[in-house]
Chains A and B, each alone.
Chain A
Amino acid sequence: MREKQKMTVGKQRAAGDYIKIKMILFGTLAAGVILTAVFAPYLVPYDPYEQDLGNALLPPGGAHLLGTDRYGRDMLSRVIMGSRTTVFAALLLVAVITVIGSAAGILCGYYGGKLDAFLMRVSDIFLAFPGMVFAIAVASVMSGGILNAVIALACISWPKYARVARSQVLSIRNMPYMAAAKLSGSGTFKMICRHVVPNIAGPVIVTAVLDIGTMMMEIAGLSFLGLGAAPPTAEWGSMMSNGRSMLQTSPWVILAPGTAIFLTVVIFNLVGDTVRDLLDPRQKGR
């Protein structure tokens, strides 16, 4: 029994280095995805928007690695181009709700009182709507478009960040160093920047990174319903929606963008999980 325990003990020491390797690996993959999105126009073998009806619905292989869609457009090029919309929109969305949500949360936690009660009520109302339901409502009213989809999703997602930030602020509000900083005459804004933000950054960042994958799926979902990117924009969700009728005959039209979404979300989820393990090892459970 003692030997077995020694083995477990040795394995655990390596866990810390393990996380660093994972972070580098997944971080590189994520960076790869982002770079693909940034340099998409230079990476595409064909023009994603050029129609070639003579070559419509070609199966994968040969000149077109992922086949062509019903307008003869090269699938690989459309998938690469589509990464721009999904990746940029998701990153923008997460950035916006992190900043706005945290700001609201910090204000609530710091000042408390009526502001806190009011903002929490407001966030309760937004939280009352099941996610997609509200996004559908807002996006449909705003007549589609990817930016409106982002706004819609931002409206329902910010409360989560506000709550995380708020509870973090509440937990450190009574810490001795806060009182010390106040006594030394620090201005409020300076105090928030120097003391509050670094200490609540951890959980907020973890929430944000973990959310990137989910937001990508929601954006793609809205586009799938016709509420996001409009044709002929290459966007993974709308590409899948357009290919629905050809599921049986030309499945690659759906499988290519679908797999792209899947792989991208997997990569960002892996990054998110690793960031969480890095910043909050307690959460993983022993």
Chain B
Amino acid sequence: MKKYITRRFLQLIPILFGITFLSFLLMNTGTADSIDVMENNTGGVMSEEEKDILRAELGLDKPLVQQYIIWLGKTVRGDMGESFVSGQPVSALFVSKLPATIGLMITSILLTVFLSVPLGILSAVRQNRITDYLIRFFSFIGNSLPNFFVSLLLIWFFSLKLKLLPVMGNNAGWKSVILPTLTLALSMASRYTRQVRATVLEELNKDYVQGARARGISEKRILYFSVLRASMLTIATLLALSIGSLLGGTAIVESIFMWDGVGKMAVDAITMRDYPVIQVYVIWMAVIYVCVNLFTDMIYHYLDPRIRLGREDG
């Protein structure tokens, strides 16, 4: 088991390099480089020679790989550059906005699990009966609605028509978190319910279920004590994968609801071509995602006795 953990951590390193290099590459091979953007934003006009001097100053004329290494060195020390727009150091900016996003993510995940797991199990157990069809129908609909449409619909209905909830911002306390959470949760839950259903169905079709029936064990017991325990591992792993789309979804939802998190920060940065901000967002979201996956993987391997006790399974 220890060997497994060390192996996974070691695998993390090339991926981290890959992430940072790819992001660096992206941000620095755009058609406009930072000098041009600075020029745009400050409204001034500079001649090519002046720009070249600036570039040499900032080390932008060195070969790409060398730039990357210099940049990586600075990053590791916490210096990820400054915003083109505000001049603020971007890592500090990111850290200040992160809690809002994490809060939103936590509420969304909780609501999703609360909805999807019971509904998915119910759908699997009552396979092909009315309950199953209803649940599948609603998750199908939810799956076909883009999250920006859902947010607008929710705003229209709850904020504008019914005047129940605030339209935007995160300063109305718990009330303002409802609509964004609902939006994210509905999208996530639609997909996740189907996955829970498929997992439970797969377990239900396994031989040990028939074995248990042959021993006269009640369907309820089989479900709660054997099938669900076996399904939980897969369900937890699938949740980690869903977090990936959640991380992406926050960008749009935060932007619509003016929720002051890193997603909104990134979307705002896009319109301003504020590359350092976009870069820190992309890198950190990727790192968070990779860590979440790693963590889930390790928990999975710990909880499954087949793997914990030494036999590599699948």
**B residues near A136, Cβ cutoff 8 Å:** 248, 251, 266-267, 270, 278, 282
A7 within 8 A of B: no
A99 within 8 A of B: no
Taking beta carbons and an 8 Å cutoff, which residues of B are in contact with A?
14-15, 18-19, 22-23, 26-27, 29-32, 124, 127, 140-141, 143-149, 152-153, 155-156, 160, 198, 201-202, 205, 243-249, 251-252, 255-256, 266-267, 269-271, 273, 275, 278-279, 281-282, 285-286, 289-290
From the candidates B160, B205, B251, name the one contacting A133 in the complex (CB within 8 A): B251
A285 within 8 A of B: yes
Report Cα–Cα, A286/B209, bound state, in Å.
Answer: 14
A225 touches B251 (CB 8 A): yes
A20 within 8 A of B: no
Residue of A nearest to B201 (CB): A285
A130 touches B270 (CB 8 A): no
Give the shortest distance, in Å, between A260 (CB) and chain B (any CB).
10
Residue of B nearest to A265 (CB): B144
Report Cα–Cα, A143/B33, bound state, in Å.
Answer: 12
**B residues near A143, Cβ cutoff 8 Å:** 30-32
23 contacts between A and B (CB under 8 A): A128-B286, A129-B285, A129-B286, A130-B244, A137-B26, A137-B278, A141-B29, A142-B30, A213-B144, A221-B252, A224-B146, A225-B255, A226-B270, A247-B156, A254-B152, A258-B146, A258-B153, A262-B145, A262-B146, A262-B149, A269-B143, A269-B144, A285-B202
From the candidates A220, A225, A283, name the one contacting B270 in the complex (CB within 8 A): A225
Give the shortest distance, in Å, between A55 (CB) and chain B (any CB).
24
A221-B286 contact in complex given A124-B15, A132-B248, C-beta closer than 8 Å:
no
A242 within 8 A of B: no
**B residues near A241, Cβ cutoff 8 Å:** 148
A138 within 8 A of B: yes
A35 within 8 A of B: no
**B residues near A142, Cβ cutoff 8 Å:** 30-31
Within 8 A of B (CB), among A253-271: 254, 258, 261-262, 265-266, 269
**A residues near B14, Cβ cutoff 8 Å:** 121
12 more contacts with CB within 8 A, not counting A130-B289, A132-B247, are: A124-B15, A125-B18, A125-B22, A129-B282, A129-B286, A130-B248, A131-B245, A138-B26, A237-B148, A240-B148, A283-B198, A285-B201
From the candidates A140, A261, A266, name the one contacting B278 in the complex (CB within 8 A): A140
Give the shortest distance, in Å, between B50 (CB) and chain A (any CB).
23
A125 touches B244 (CB 8 A): no
**A residues near B30, Cβ cutoff 8 Å:** 141-143
**B residues near A93, Cβ cutoff 8 Å:** none
Report Cα–Cα, A186/B267, bound state, in Å.
Answer: 53
Residue of A nearest to B243 (CB): A130
- The total of interchain contacts (Cβ-Cβ below 8 angstroms) comes to 146
A5 within 8 A of B: no
Interface size class of A (residues with CB under 8 A): 35 or more
B249 touches A258 (CB 8 A): no
Report Cα–Cα, A251/B159, bound state, in Å.
Answer: 14
A244 within 8 A of B: yes
Residue of B nearest to A266 (CB): B144
Report Cα–Cα, A180/B244, bound state, in Å.
Answer: 43
B127 touches A285 (CB 8 A): yes
Report Cα–Cα, A213/B190, bound state, in Å.
Answer: 14
Taking beta carbons and an 8 Å cutoff, which residues of A are in contact with B?
121-122, 124-126, 128-138, 140-143, 213, 217, 220-221, 224-227, 237, 240-241, 244, 247-248, 251, 254, 258, 261-262, 265-266, 269, 283, 285-286
Give the shortest distance, in Å, between B180 (CB) and chain A (any CB).
15
Give the shortest distance, in Å, between B289 (CB) and chain A (any CB).
5
**A residues near B145, Cβ cutoff 8 Å:** 262, 265
**B residues near A221, Cβ cutoff 8 Å:** 146-148, 252
Report Cα–Cα, A128/B21, bound state, in Å.
Answer: 13
A224-B148 contact in complex given A133-B248, A285-B198, C-beta closer than 8 Å:
yes
Residue of A nearest to B272 (CB): A140
A-B residue pairs, 10 tightest by C-beta: A132-B248, A125-B18, A130-B247, A285-B201, A141-B30, A217-B146, A265-B144, A258-B149, A130-B244, A137-B282
Report Cα–Cα, A140/B272, bound state, in Å.
Answer: 10
Residue of B nearest to A273 (CB): B140
Report Cα–Cα, A265/B246, bound state, in Å.
Answer: 20
Report Cα–Cα, A136/B148, bound state, in Å.
Answer: 15
Report Cα–Cα, A220/B275, bound state, in Å.
Answer: 23
A141-B26 contact in complex given A128-B290, A132-B252, C-beta closer than 8 Å:
yes
Report Cα–Cα, A266/B149, bound state, in Å.
Answer: 14
Give the shortest distance, in Å, between B198 (CB) and chain A (any CB).
7
**A residues near B15, Cβ cutoff 8 Å:** 121, 124-125, 128
**B residues near A213, Cβ cutoff 8 Å:** 143-144
**B residues near A285, Cβ cutoff 8 Å:** 124, 127, 198, 201-202, 205
